[in-house]
A and B are shown apart, each in its own frame.
Chain A
Amino acid sequence: MIDVNIYRYNPETDKFPYTQTYSIKKPEKDIMLLELLNLLKEQDSSISYRRSCREGVCGSDGMNINGKNGLACITPISEAIKNNKIELRPLPGLPVIRDLVVDMTEFYAQYDKIKPFLQNETQPPVQERLQSPVDRDKLDGLYECILCACCSTSCPSFWWNPDKFVGPAALLQAYRFIADSRDTKTAERLEALSDPFSVYRCHGIMNCVNVCPKDLNPNKAIGEIKSMLLSGSKKENIIASDGMS
């Protein structure tokens, strides 16, 4: 048997959140945590969590697993069990709607702020805007983000200033467009991030890198943005890296 401690909160009945322990027979196969949650939901249908693709692509089931943010659907229970126990809590720092479901409005507001789309006012060619393989390589390690919010909600700077600090997830996307050879609004994008809070609240503690389920490195992207803000260095000088941690 394993004990699964789940953070419970139902706004209609509970004044305060509490932890509920479920005991379940340890499955013979090393199933994913999401499957275990599905089994528990058969026991108690009131347990709430988000899930969709069940293969680490949609980023819906981000949660705090034994103190470390991750996706339940790609975390095997063998990795999650500590002392015959698994602790599941919602993503830290965001308002809890119910159980493991958090309100991601602030997170998406920051994503919206960095204008996550290609901006180029020049006349588009007949077919498409082309990019050299070298320029395309610069986007590796940036475009793969699935916006699961594991990184931003593990960042103390984001906990204290979710309205002012853009957070690792959105900054990684900001750099994805700053580094894109087809985007012409580099100066405007950097200008929008030049205040004391948007980027500079990052103190490089690396928890974003520590938890990212896609093994991306937002901290490196933030470092590059800081350098570009300070030196005014040009997009052409960006060197491609695989961006992975």
Chain B
Amino acid sequence: MSIKPVYINLFKIQLPLSALLSITHRVSGMFIFFLVLPVSVFIFNLLLQSSDSFALFMDSYNTSIFIRTFVLFNILVFEYHVIAGIRHMLMDFHLISETLSSSNTSAMVALIFFFVISLLTILALT
């Protein structure tokens, strides 16, 4: 018997906004675990090692647009993950009612909240 095909085409299947939030929450979580966390520990270690290494990092941070963008991106991913995660926890505690409309509304609120926070972060770091 041949293997039966399975139809899954994520570009054709409709998913609600809350699905997008949940999937990106998972992806950002992986990103944080594998990239943001080790890089942060490395930078933190660098900053604390000696005044020279502190100066070296701050110097390269101030001169290199690449490092600045990289740090900013890491912070934004972390903020997104925290905000989407808080929404998930509120749902788990039944603090957001489990209806489609309130789920979509809370997803929208979380996204707006993220955009405001990221705007503030960008303003603070540039």
A contacts, CB < 8 Å to B: 7, 9, 11, 16-17, 64, 66-68, 87, 89-97, 103, 154, 156, 159, 203-207, 209-210, 217, 219-220, 223, 226-227, 245
Contact = CB atoms under 8 A, between A and B. Distances in A.
Nearest to A160: B8
B100 A93 contact: no
A89 B7 contact: yes
Of A154, A206, A217, most buried by chain B (CB within 10 Å of CB) is A206
A103 B4 CA distance: 9
A95 B98 contact: no
Interface residues of B, number: 27
Contacts of B7: 7, 17, 64, 89-93, 96
B5 A95 contact: yes
Contact of B8 (A16, A93, A223): A93
The 8 closest A-B pairs by CB, nearest first: A95-B4, A205-B19, A67-B14, A220-B98, A206-B103, A68-B14, A205-B22, A209-B100
23 contacts: A9-B5, A11-B4, A64-B7, A64-B13, A68-B13, A68-B14, A92-B7, A92-B8, A93-B7, A96-B4, A96-B6, A97-B4, A204-B18, A204-B98, A204-B103, A206-B19, A206-B98, A209-B103, A210-B100, A217-B99, A220-B99, A223-B98, A227-B94
